Chain A
Amino acid sequence: MAEITYREAVIQAMSEEMRRDDAVFLIGEDVGPSGGIFKCSEGLFDEFGAARVIDAPISEAGYIGLSVGAAVTGMRPIAELMFGDFSLLTMDQIVNQAAKIRYMTGGQCRVPLTIRTTMGAGRSSAAQHSQSLHALFAHIPGLKVALPSCPRDAKGLLKTAIRDDNPVLVFEGKMMYNDKGPVPEEEYTIPFGVAEVKRAGDDCTIIAVSSMVGLALEAAQTLSREDEISVEVVDPRTLVPLDEETLVESVRKTGYALIVDEASLRYGVTGELAALVTEAAFDYLDAPVKRIGAANVPIPFSPTLEGAAIPHSETIVDAVRALRGKIRR
């Protein structure tokens, strides 16, 4: 295992896949010689050249549209949308075109399109550069959605996305780009629809995605130390397809479930997963399922305000204590 950053993992995934398959190319704003605003394509331009690492004009809808057309005619584009917020400019291309062209044509084509974008607050980037919009896409039949929570998953899931014959959105947690973690030195991929138990435990299940996994692991340590509560942390890793079995099994084992997502709470991923585990593990639950997400406000700018809007590991600790009856909320 090598210790590399989440960013390096993303770069490795792309460069390995571009070496493996000539049909793979990268298109996005500033992805070329500059290496991208998050430095996530550093070195790619030098290795693969302008023909395969394409600096697009600031035309998100346009270049996602081009990527759809390229995907149905034999290429395997990786399109980068700098901030997840900008995906909103491309909704027609992703939702009406990419997600449906195969279905509408009765299976006449494949759409091997990977859209890499970012999610998450924490940089005082305010309301238009901080959103976590993965639930919008997970809602759409025809799309797949992956949310890597560590360098190993960032690499393995992205490689799988690039090899997948369907449109996949990979949401990278922008606060994690500098985080280091162990990544296998040898070639590997991580299959979609396989959740990972990031920490085993007996007393309560936390289902978390993206950077919330790290917070949940932190919370689990605190709870173990201070409350002797043994927490199991499960990361679905892909929302579509979803490994229902692993999530449900964990909840059946512990009898308690807390679901954590960084997006606004209402109508989001936490609601969907809460419904899933409630329906499938109702008889095993010792308390109603709890959910944590961002406040239902646009992400504010000032650090005190931003901090108040998003989940923290203390929020998670408190929620588990409440679930386990340690404190009344």
Chain B
Amino acid sequence: MAKKVTARRAKPVAKKKVTAALPEGASKRKTKPPRAKTAARRSGKAPRAKTAAKSNGLDADMLWSMYRKMVQIRKFEEHVWDVYIRGLMPGLAHLYIGEEAVAVGACAALREDDYITSTHRGHGHCLAKGARLDRMMAEIMGKEAGYCRGKGGSMHIADMSLGNLGANGIVGGGFGVATGAALSAKMRGTDQVSLCFFGDGAANQGILLETGNMAAIWNLPVIYVCENNQYGEHTPSDKVTGSERIVDRAEAMGLAGVRVEGADVMEVYEVVAAAVSRARRGDGATFVEMMTYRFRGHHVGDAATYRTAKELKWWMENRDPINLLGERMIKHGIADRSRLERVDEQVEEEVVEAVEFARNAPLPPAEQAREDVYA
């Protein structure tokens, strides 16, 4: 590995002026959110998709599949909310509603044998990587049929068979595992890549500098995806983050960096796909900052009084990733409203079934508490 040190600088990718990629269908009149800056900008040397999301010539199947996946996450989370309110699940639930395009666009760029690490707000990542609704819901309810046999719960869902190395209760807990999986892929001589989801809050954990630096010096196939939803728990990101753009830290670590409009699933997909192929080629790691927003509180039960109704309304009206994609598909004749509604209905049924499955599944027997400590 030491030999690679000379190649530490991320290869500059051809600079191309990119206008703020506002998702089509977004309100043209009022494109500025009340507080946060969202226009997609990017640092100088980031990988970039060849075409900015041109909806013509888009693969219709892929759009449908991303649409469906986003709806699946939305409905799953709505049911988690419901399950929580009805007292059917123990613990906490951090919902991903509003951020679906990030997980779906990013995971659409991955292969099944690629790795991800996830966060406390991880249901979306897990579903986007291909997990089953029923086993996820069962895990969230603490059932034996859950992915982790009821030992992890909402904050620790993992499906290693699909490369999901697990969500983390420690903010920033995924940096090491994700970067290590990339090191491992490189050492084993595979072309797998590893993608690390983390929040704007996690971006202030020191270990990011350590792992990002190692990714840079060893050219590791890792993609750091910062989900900047502009709050860490109750605290606005800009109150606790020194650099205005988190992605600006990438260059300092020797990583390529790019900032993306995270509500635009195509933009997310294309940027991550470019980062993935760059990583697979052996050209190293990329840091992607996704501007996004959670439509619910930090967790179920958080009334989110620390932000204004106006701000929330703006995001829901202008940056709902599902609406944006749906409108675009209609505009380009890929979908019509009734077909979209049919998808919604089908997915709703699937999720209801998953909830039923999970409700009826047995709790793990107490003696299992002592299993799985050691291999």
- For residue B375, which residue of chain A has the nearest CB? A165
Stretch of B27-35, B45-53, B158-166, B282-290 contacting A (4+ beta carbons < 8 Å): B158-166
Interface contact B179-A107, CB-CB below 8 Å: no
Q: List, in ascending order, chain B residues with CB within 8 A of A104's CB.
A: 148, 151-152, 156, 158, 166
Q: List, in ascending order, chain A residues with CB within 8 A of B147's CB.
A: 105-106, 108
Q: List, in ascending order, chain B residues with CB within 8 A of A141's CB.
A: 373
Interface contact B179-A69, CB-CB below 8 Å: yes
* Alpha-carbon gap, A56 to B2, bound state (A): 9
Given contacts A96-B170, A108-B148, A109-B160, contact A62 B2 (CB under 8 A): no
Instruction: Return A93 CB to nearest CB of chain B, in Å.
Output: 5
- For residue B369, which residue of chain A has the nearest CB? A103
- For residue A50, which residue of chain B has the nearest CB? B2
A303 within 8 A of B: no
Interface contact B176-A106, CB-CB below 8 Å: no
B183 within 8 A of A: yes
Interface contact A70-B166, CB-CB below 8 Å: no
Interface contact B188-A62, CB-CB below 8 Å: no
Interface contact A166-B188, CB-CB below 8 Å: no
A18 within 8 A of B: no
Interface contact B213-A62, CB-CB below 8 Å: yes
* Alpha-carbon gap, A61 to B210, bound state (A): 8
* Alpha-carbon gap, A67 to B152, bound state (A): 22
Interface contact B177-A72, CB-CB below 8 Å: yes
Instruction: Return A53 CB to nearest CB of chain B, in Å.
Output: 9
A window 1-57: CB within 8 A of B: 25, 32, 50-52, 54-57
B367 within 8 A of A: no
A window 123-166: CB within 8 A of B: 141-142, 144, 165-166
Interface contact A105-B158, CB-CB below 8 Å: yes
Instruction: Return A2 CB to nearest CB of chain B, in Å.
Output: 32
Q: List, in ascending order, chain A residues with CB within 8 A of B371's CB.
A: 107
A102 within 8 A of B: yes
Q: List, in ascending order, chain B residues with CB within 8 A of A63's CB.
A: 210, 214
Chain B proximity mask over A55-88: 1 for CB below 8 Å, otherwise 0: 1110101111111111111110000000000000
Given contacts A103-B372, A104-B156, A105-B147, contact A69 B165 (CB under 8 A): yes
Interface contact A75-B188, CB-CB below 8 Å: yes
Chain A proximity mask over B166-177: 1 for CB below 8 Å, otherwise 0: 101110010111
Given contacts A75-B187, A106-B151, contact A70 B213 (CB under 8 A): no
Interface contact A50-B179, CB-CB below 8 Å: no
Interface contact B213-A66, CB-CB below 8 Å: no
Interface contact A106-B2, CB-CB below 8 Å: no
Q: Which listed residue (B115, B158, B170) contacts A73, Cβ 8 A?
A: B115
Interface contact B156-A97, CB-CB below 8 Å: no
How many A residues, CB 8 Å from partner?
45
- For residue B207, which residue of chain A has the nearest CB? A61
* Alpha-carbon gap, A61 to B175, bound state (A): 10
A window 95-124: CB within 8 A of B: 96-97, 101-111
Q: List, in ascending order, chain B residues with CB within 8 A of A51's CB.
A: 1, 187
Q: List, in ascending order, chain A residues with CB within 8 A of B204's CB.
A: none
Interface contact A73-B184, CB-CB below 8 Å: yes
Q: Which listed residue (B159, B194, B207) contacts A62, Cβ 8 A?
A: B207
Given contacts A61-B210, A62-B176, A104-B166, contact A70 B181 (CB under 8 A): yes
A245 within 8 A of B: no
Instruction: Return B334 CB to nearest CB of chain A, in Å.
Output: 38
Instruction: Return B250 CB to nearest CB of chain A, in Å.
Output: 16
Q: Which listed residue (B3, B160, B176) contacts A97, Cβ 8 A?
A: B176
Q: List, in ascending order, chain A residues with CB within 8 A of B160's CB.
A: 72, 105, 108-109
Q: Which listed residue (A32, A65, A97) contacts B211, Cβ 8 A?
A: A65
Interface contact A93-B166, CB-CB below 8 Å: no
B105 within 8 A of A: no
Q: List, in ascending order, chain A residues with CB within 8 A of B178's CB.
A: 69
- Interface of A with B (CB < 8 Å)? 25, 32, 50-52, 54-57, 59, 61-75, 92-93, 96-97, 101-111, 141-142, 144, 165-166
Ranked 3 nearest A-B pairs via Cβ: A65-B176, A69-B180, A62-B210
- Interface of B with A (CB < 8 Å)? 1-3, 115, 117, 146-152, 156, 158-161, 165-166, 168-170, 173, 175-185, 187-188, 194, 206-207, 209-211, 213-214, 217, 371-375
Q: A108-B159, A141-B373 are in contact. List 16 more A-B contacts (CB 8 A).
A: A56-B214, A57-B214, A59-B209, A62-B176, A66-B183, A68-B177, A69-B194, A75-B187, A97-B177, A101-B177, A104-B151, A105-B158, A109-B158, A111-B375, A144-B374, A166-B374
In the assembled complex, 26 residue pairs joining A and B whose CB atoms fall closer than 8 Å, in A order, are A50-B2, A51-B1, A57-B213, A57-B214, A59-B210, A59-B214, A61-B206, A65-B179, A69-B176, A69-B177, A69-B183, A70-B187, A72-B160, A75-B188, A96-B173, A97-B177, A104-B148, A104-B156, A105-B158, A106-B147, A106-B148, A106-B150, A108-B159, A108-B161, A109-B165, A166-B375
